[in-house]
Amino acid sequence: MHTDVSVVDELIRTQFPRWHGLPLTKLDHGGTDHAIYRLGDELAVRLPLIDWAKDQPALDFAVLPRLAPHLPVAVPEPLELGEPTEHYPYQWSVVRWLEGDISTIDAVSPDTGARLAEVLQALHKIDTTGEPWTTYRGRHDISISDEGVRWSIARLGGDPRLTALWEETISAPRWDQPLRWVHADLHRGNLLFTGGELTGVIDWGCAAAGDPAGDLMTAWLFLDARGRKLFRRELTEFDDAAWAHARGWALEISVLALARPDTNSFVAEFARHALDQLLAERAG
């Protein structure tokens, strides 16, 4: 879906005129689902770019007010839900701007693994009563991805170590405890740091209730061996099956991304990091 400053300016002018006239700048970021525009100093406009993400603005408004008060980091505060027009076909949102930088694991505080564990512990304590199983990452049956994962591994050269890791994942017992809230997209593009300290988590459009392995995957998507040790040290409640599923989710997101010819460089970078971490751990 094409967006530009003129389209967003018209959306703001016609639907939220109190903000019309504030400086509007398109952000260059690594995400694939949304266009993001900074609106003045304190606001951001998020617009889905593809059909499968069209429900995410409404989900933010339903979920984030329930989760935010319980979390030890900042999340984008949804302020207004915009409606489709003849020039833009989806709902869109205005949210509070969060300060912070996207970073790599080697440039952040050495206790980041423990800090990420703290975020997940807080998230997992939030009540999920009445919530359905997610159909996305963290869903009940990860083996639904089997064909795509195997095809992707083959396209990337058929590394038997990746195939073995995947087979361990799909043979591990499924999550049979109460559902947990999961962010489901905890890669480095959605983690904000200030002075090297984790201060924010963004892009909650996939948040739902499910298997917490859908978030434990950040152990390989973002962390390194040192950070992973701290992360796992704090999350002692999870058994080998949970960690096997977490590896599987990290593998799934990475090989599917790298096997696509149109994957952008940002996504490819964190996907390669995850595969390198998975293989190095296996070798060690």
Check residue 33 and give its pLDDT. Answer: 84
Q: Which of 181, 188, 166, 212 is nearest to 268 (CA)?
A: 188
C-alpha closest to that of 274 among 230, 216, 199: 216
Lowest mean per-residue pLDDT among 51-55, 115-119, 213-217, 242-246? 51-55
| Mean pLDDT to the nearest integer, 134-160 | 97
Comparing 30-39, 81-90, 189-198, the range with the smallest average pLDDT is 30-39
Spatial contact of 58 and 81, defined as CB atoms under 8 Å apart: yes
Q: Check: CB of residue 72 under 8 Å from CB of residue 24.
A: no
- Where residue 24 falls among pLDDT bands split at 50, 70, 90? very high
Of 275, 237, 231, 249, whose CA–CA distance to 117 is shortest?
231
Mean pLDDT of the chain: 95
Give the span between the Cα atoms of 223 and 176, in whole angstroms. 27
User: Lowest mean pLDDT: which of 21-35, 88-102, 151-165?
Assistant: 21-35
Find how far residue 107's CA is from the centre of its chain.
Answer: 20
| Residue 136 shares a structural domain with residue 274 | yes
Residues 43 and 171 placed together within one structural domain of the fold: no
Question: Are residue 128 and residue 244 in the same domain, yes or no?
Answer: yes
94 and 106 both lie in a single domain: no
35: β partners? 47
Q: Are residues 127 and 196 in the same domain?
A: yes
Task: Give me the number of domains the chain comprises.
Answer: 2
Residue 214 pLDDT more than 90? yes
Residues 120 and 180 in one domain: yes
Do 110 and 93 have their domain in common?
Answer: no
Interval 244-284: pLDDT, tens: 999 999 999 999 999 998 888 999 999 999 999 999 998 87
Please check whether residue 200 is in contact with residue 73, taking contact to mean a CB–CB distance below 8 angstroms: yes
CA distance 274 to 131: 30
Statement: residue 42 has pLDDT above 70:
yes
CB 274 within 8 A of CB 251: yes
d(CA 246, CA 190): 18
Q: Sign of the CA dihedral 9, 13, 16, 19?
A: positive
From 56, 73, 98, the end of a domain falls on 98
pLDDT at 150 over 80: yes
Together in a domain, 110 and 236: yes
Q: Which pLDDT value is given to residue 30?
A: 62
Alpha helices in 35-109 (DSSP H): 56-67
Residues 165 and 182 in one domain: yes
Choose the final residue of a domain: 39, 73, 98. Answer: 98
Report in angstroms the alpha-carbon separations of 86 from 40, 49, 92, 180, 275.
25, 15, 14, 39, 43
> What's the pLDDT score for residue 5?
95
pLDDT, mean of residues 177-194:
96
Between CA 166 and CA 153 the distance in angstroms is 10
Query: Per-residue pLDDT for 43 more than 70?
Result: yes
Structure confidence by residue, pLDDT tens digits, 112-141: 999 999 999 999 999 999 999 999 999 999
Amino acid identity, residue 56?
Q
**Structural domain range at position 124:** 102-282
Report the percent of the chain where pLDDT is more than 70: 99
pTM above 0.85, yes or no: yes
Residues 84 and 125 in one domain: no
Same domain flag for 67 and 106: no
The residue ranges of DSSP E strands in the chain, in sequence order, are: 24-26, 34-39, 43-48, 78-82, 92-96, 180-182, 191-194, 197-201, 208-210
CATH code of residue 48: 3.30.200.20
Q: What is the CATH number of the domain that holds 208?
A: 3.90.1200.10
Give the whole-angstrom CA distance, residue 69 versus residue 47: 25
Domain limit, last residue, from 80, 98, 116:
98
pLDDT of residue 283: 87
Residue 31 clears pLDDT 70, i.e. is over it: no
Domain identity same for 198 and 110: yes
